[in-house]
Amino acid sequence: MAANLRQIALECGVAVSTVSRALNGHPHINEETRQRIRETADRLGYRPSVAARALRGSGTRAVGVVLPDMMNVFYARTISMVQDQLEERGYSVVMAVTNNEGRRERTGIERLVAGGVDGIIIVPTLTRTPPMPEGVPLVEVNRRSSRRVDWVGYDEKEGARTLVSHLIEAGHRSIAFIGGQPSFSTTRRRVEGYRQALAAVGVEPLPEWLQLSTYSPSWGAEALDRLLALPEPPTAVCASSSELVLGLLTEARRRGLRLPRDMSFVAFGNTDWFAVTSPSVTAYEQPIEQVTHIAVQLLADRMAGSTADPTRVLVEGRVIGRDSVMTTPTHSSRQGSNRSSG
């Protein structure tokens, strides 16, 4: 049986992706390493796959895009805009979806690199990751990992702070936060912004106001159930994604709640249906087009040979006010801990 890239990598003591780049003639591979890999490949009888030969022989330039979830409206819009911008530059797009699983992220990247992509744009699942193999340009979007690479994203902390401040300005002080996995950098920064907004008016949120699990409709519904079961439910909720809002709205309607009279709510991330549902949803809009444009430009610079230090770019979004927030008197008895100001 002919050898594969993994066997060559084990024999040479290098990463699979390094083997792929060496065999594909990538210019950023050390010449001594390249020669050793080629000699090992010849000795083991390696033959590239038909698919890989077709990709390289056609002259088509390809970029890998790694996303956590294609059901998420935000990521669907992201891939659409990235694809449009890359195609304008003459690149095709090869997708990998991780379903927020670290194992799938690792294997997805490995397969993309082994297939000969020229670079990768990724929304990472893993927060602590090994560095990318030699010669593989990579740009992270939105979430951050431990890789020392270019990154572009939204100011999650400031976005959440602004969104919760919108509720505070409407008179709310008992404000809950429904979010996703605590291990995600995006979740942590949004929680920081939530806490910062409340701290500015002297409110220490009760532990049970913070409901974190997954970015899914089912968790949005369950989190609302938990909040409504409290002796004094919060008067407002900040939901950290459109999926969570969907679950929240579904459960609220099942219970016969009158929104926003019974509970105000806002969402992190804007989507088209927020404008037409009842009530329409006040949301923090992430500037996806601007972020994807910057990500593609950063990757293009790296693929052209840029060796500049990694760049970090923060892009500001905006709050779109709609009908899901009702002005309410401030009640000191519902402001959390004793740090509350009346």
Inside any domain, residue 14 = yes
pLDDT for residue 125:
85
Whether 326 and 200 share a structural domain: yes
Q: What is the 3-state secondary structure (H, E, C) of the chain?
A: CCCCHHHHHHHHCCCHHHHHHHHCCCCCCCHHHHHHHHHHHHHHCCCCCHHHHHHHHCCCEEEEEEECCCCCHHHHHHHHHHHHHHHHCCEEEEEEECCCCHHHHHHHHHHHHHCCCCEEEECCCCCCCCCCCCCCCEEEECCCCCCCCEEEEECHHHHHHHHHHHHHHCCCCCEEEEECCCCCHHHHHHHHHHHHHHHCCCCECCHHHEEECCCCHHHHHHHHHHHHCCCCCCCEEEECCHHHHHHHHHHHHHHCCCCCCCCEEEEECCCHHHHCCCCCCEEEECCHHHHHHHHHHHHHHHHCCCCCCCCEEEECCEEECCCCCCCCCCCHHHCECCCCCC
Domain span at 222? 156-285+319-334
Inside any domain, residue 253 = yes
Inside any domain, residue 231 = yes
Asked whether residue 113 carries a pLDDT value surpassing 60, the answer given is: yes
Q: How confident is the model at residue 332 (pLDDT cuts 50, 70, 90)?
A: very low
Whether 181 and 324 share a structural domain: yes
Q: How confident is the model at residue 331 (pLDDT cuts 50, 70, 90)?
A: very low
Peptide bond into 182 cis (omega under 30): no
Domains: count for the chain = 2
Q: What is the mean pLDDT of residues 141-151?
A: 89
Inside any domain, residue 79 = no
Q: Are strands 312-315 and 318-320 parallel, antiparallel or unpaired?
A: unpaired
**Measured between alpha carbons, how far is 163 from 156 in angstroms, rounded to an integer?**
10
pLDDT for residue 51:
44
CATH of the domain at 41: 1.10.260.40
Whether 34 and 169 share a structural domain: no
CATH of the domain at 274: 3.40.50.2300
pLDDT for residue 160:
97
Residues in the chain: 342
Inside any domain, residue 22 = yes
Whether 175 and 36 share a structural domain: no
Whether 326 and 190 share a structural domain: yes
In Å, how far from its chain's centre is CA 228? Answer: 29
* Chain mean pLDDT for the chain: 87
Q: What is the mean pLDDT of residues 267-290?
A: 95
Inside any domain, residue 261 = yes
Whether 325 and 188 share a structural domain: yes
pLDDT for residue 101:
86
Q: What is the mean pLDDT of residues 163-190?
A: 95
- Among candidates 63, 52, 58, 64, which has minimal Cα distance to 5? 52
Taking the CA atoms of 196, 197, 202 and 203 in sequence, report the sign of the dihedral they define. negative
Between 53-67, 137-151, 276-290, the lowest mean confidence (pLDDT) is in: 53-67
Whether 196 and 325 share a structural domain: yes
pLDDT for residue 127:
60
Q: Whole-structure pTM over 0.85, yes or no? A: no
Inside any domain, residue 193 = yes
Inside any domain, residue 199 = yes
